[in-house]
Structure 1
Amino acid sequence: MSQSSDSKIPNCESETLVEAALRVLNTSDLFEKAKLGDEIACKWLQGIISQPYHPSNDLHIPHRPARPTNVKLLSPSLMPKLGKAGSLQSRQAIVHSLVHTESWAIDLSWDMIARFGKQEAMPREFFTDFVRVAQDEGRHFIFLATRLEELGSCYGALPAHDGLWDSAIATSDDLLARLAIEHCVHEARGLDVIPTTIARFRNGGDHKTADLLETVIYPEEITHCAAGVRWFKYLCLRSTNVAPKEECVVEEVADDDAAIQKFHTTVRTFFRGPLKPPFNVEARRAAGFLPEWYEPLAVKELEVFPAS
């Protein structure tokens, strides 16, 4: 498995979390990327890596993380239909799509840490939240890639699209926008569709994939959406100067009309088109994401007027 020279293990006593995150982003082999991310996450959570960043160091954040070159990339509009998991070919296509999504989720989490943590002077809890997200996404990638091989295929056997990273590029200078689009739009959309995907695998007789999605990936994705919602609210609260930064971190920041309006403005600015219902209201609520945040951004029914 290939690995860039930038990802070689340095002395962990002096390495910061942001420096470690850059090693993940500069690792092209996705299995190595997931493994390295897990090792770094464990070191951070155990206190072996203790500093989030060096205040005086300016590090280069890659415009695009190192990625494998064996995946054929298409425009989202040109992607073939995945089907409904009724055939082996359809099940392979759906799992391949999920593997690709999780591979980008690894990079998105470490990019969040490296790109915004120091720039926005975020508290330690921010780093810990996204370290946990990154660790989860790495495990999801390994589990799903392994399952894809059990289904007789492998990552790279089918085309994919990089819509998630396109959104990351569009929000590379704005943490509020990154949180809103990647976590409160894309991650939340995942919560909307996973139950249907689980049902399709069960109907197709693939209970092993359905169980993986239902018992591991689905509940953890709720926490990932919750991280986005939590830190979006935090930034909105911090911007009002109602409390010093160190006092602004709370387990559950209350919903606020100004924050909701800021969310609406941000999504309309950075996301093309309306959000698509139906929404998984229960899962979104579990993530602290209430309907007043997203329903005003949804597709509206065309009003039918009586003939004159």
Structure 2
Amino acid sequence: MELRQRALQVLCLSDVDQKVRQTLDLQAHAASFSIADETPVEPHDLPGRPERPALLAHSQVARRSPATPAGRAVLLHAIAHIEFNAINLALDAVWRFSGMPQRYYLDWLRIAAEEAQHFSLLREHLRSQGHDYGDFPAHQGLWTMCEKTRGDVLARMALVPRTLEARGLDATPLIQRKLRQTGAADALAAADILETILREEVGHVAIGNHWYRWLCERDGLDAEAHYTVLVQRHEAPQPKPPLNLEARRRAGFTETELAWLTYGENASNRPNAF
């Protein structure tokens, strides 16, 4: 069987359990698949989605304090939705872009499987609290950038893993702190799940950094300068402070990049202690 075609088939699945199970199965048997240069025909209505959750604009999705069980359920559901979207993003990176090295496809298939595991951990936690995935509305911010970069693998590597997904490296410690401050058993369990996710997400962002720089080198582009061009071209968001500098360094960001992400156009005036 051919890997990219099969990744597209899994991406098209709308049943949550099937998508998770078949993503894990695809990764487990990756060595038995060939990888073709020809890109499959894109179907309509990607990705496959379940009927629930209802999808709203980002501004319409309610935010609640993790200090209450109801607030924690909404928060963990939102993170589970991000992880479900991340499965789709990784599968899309596998099937959509031709002419990449074999390692690229295997890297993104591994990411898809790990995102499926993250989603399963969060869903199991939600179920233990009397909820399930789909019980609360969600938004599609990650997939919107996926659509914007559908024709450019360089932009995809720049603006999905190393921009949008990297925001999770910054946000997760803050969420964990709020959860642990409650002292509630379910909140502490959720914080532990997020610790596992954070550790593996550093690796996912590192893969995005690797392939972004590989593509820049292939195309004769300055990786740091071209990133600012792509951010402006596709209207990608700037990260919200504080940045998780340690995690971003482990994921492969340079000091110049971290300064730009922190200070923007004023990066040249940053303190020497940065």
Same fold (TM over 0.5): yes
- Counterpart of 1:41? 27
Aligned-partner Cα distance in 1 for 2:117–2:145:
23
5+ residue gaps, structure 1:
1-14, 241-256, 303-308
1:70 counterpart = 2:59: no
1:176 counterpart = 2:140: no
Check the 8 A contact 1:25/1:62 in 2, yes or no.
Answer: no
Shift, 1:298, TM fit: 4.4
1:231 counterpart = 2:211: yes
- Counterpart of 2:15? 29
For residues 116-135 of structure 1, what are the structure 2 equivalents within 5 Å?
116=97, 118=98, 121-135=99-113
1:82 counterpart = 2:68: no
Shift, 1:270, TM fit: 1.2
Check the 8 A contact 1:275/1:299 in 2, yes or no.
Answer: no
Q: Deviations over 1:269-291 (max 9, x none)?
A: 11345332211000000000124
Check the 8 A contact 2:243/2:262 in 1, yes or no.
Answer: no
- For the residue of structure 2 that corresponds to 1:156, the secondary structure is coil
Shift, 1:191, TM fit: 0.2
Check the 8 A contact 1:112/1:130 in 2, yes or no.
Answer: yes
Check the 8 A contact 1:72/1:158 in 2, yes or no.
Answer: yes
Aligned-partner Cα distance in 1 for 2:39–2:117:
31
Shift, 1:222, TM fit: 0.3
Shift, 1:32, TM fit: 1.2
Q: Deviations over 1:154-190 (max 9, x none)?
A: 1111110111111111111111111111111111100
Aligned-partner Cα distance in 2 for 1:233–1:126:
13
1:139 counterpart = 2:117: yes
C-alpha spacing 1:298/1:63, structure 2 compared with 1 (3 Å): farther
- Counterpart of 1:197? 175
Aligned residues: 263
Aligned-partner Cα distance in 1 for 2:235–2:265:
20
C-alpha spacing 1:63/1:236, structure 2 compared with 1 (3 Å): farther
Say what the alpha-carbon RMSD is for the aligned residues: 1.9
Select 2:87's aligned residue among 106, 114, 125. Answer: 106
Aligned-partner Cα distance in 1 for 2:20–2:255:
34
Select 1:52's aligned residue among 35, 43, 49. Answer: 35
5+ residue gaps, structure 2:
267-274
Q: Which has the higher helix share?
A: 2
Shift, 1:97, TM fit: 0.2
- Counterpart of 2:74? 93
Shift, 1:299, TM fit: 6.0
C-alpha spacing 1:57/1:212, structure 2 compared with 1 (3 Å): closer
Q: Deviations over 1:217-250 (max 9, x none)?
A: 110000010011000000001112xxxxxxxxxx
- Counterpart of 2:163? 185
For residues 209-220 of structure 1, what are the structure 2 equivalents within 5 Å?
209-214=190-195, 216-220=196-200
- Counterpart of 1:286? 250
Check the 8 A contact 2:5/2:40 in 1, yes or no.
Answer: no
C-alpha spacing 1:57/1:233, structure 2 compared with 1 (3 Å): closer
- Which amino acid in the other structure matches residue 106 of structure 2? T
- Which amino acid in the other structure matches residue 83 of structure 2? E
> TM-score, normalization: structure 2?
0.91
For residues 216-295 of structure 1, what are the structure 2 equivalents within 5 Å?
216-240=196-220, 258-295=222-259
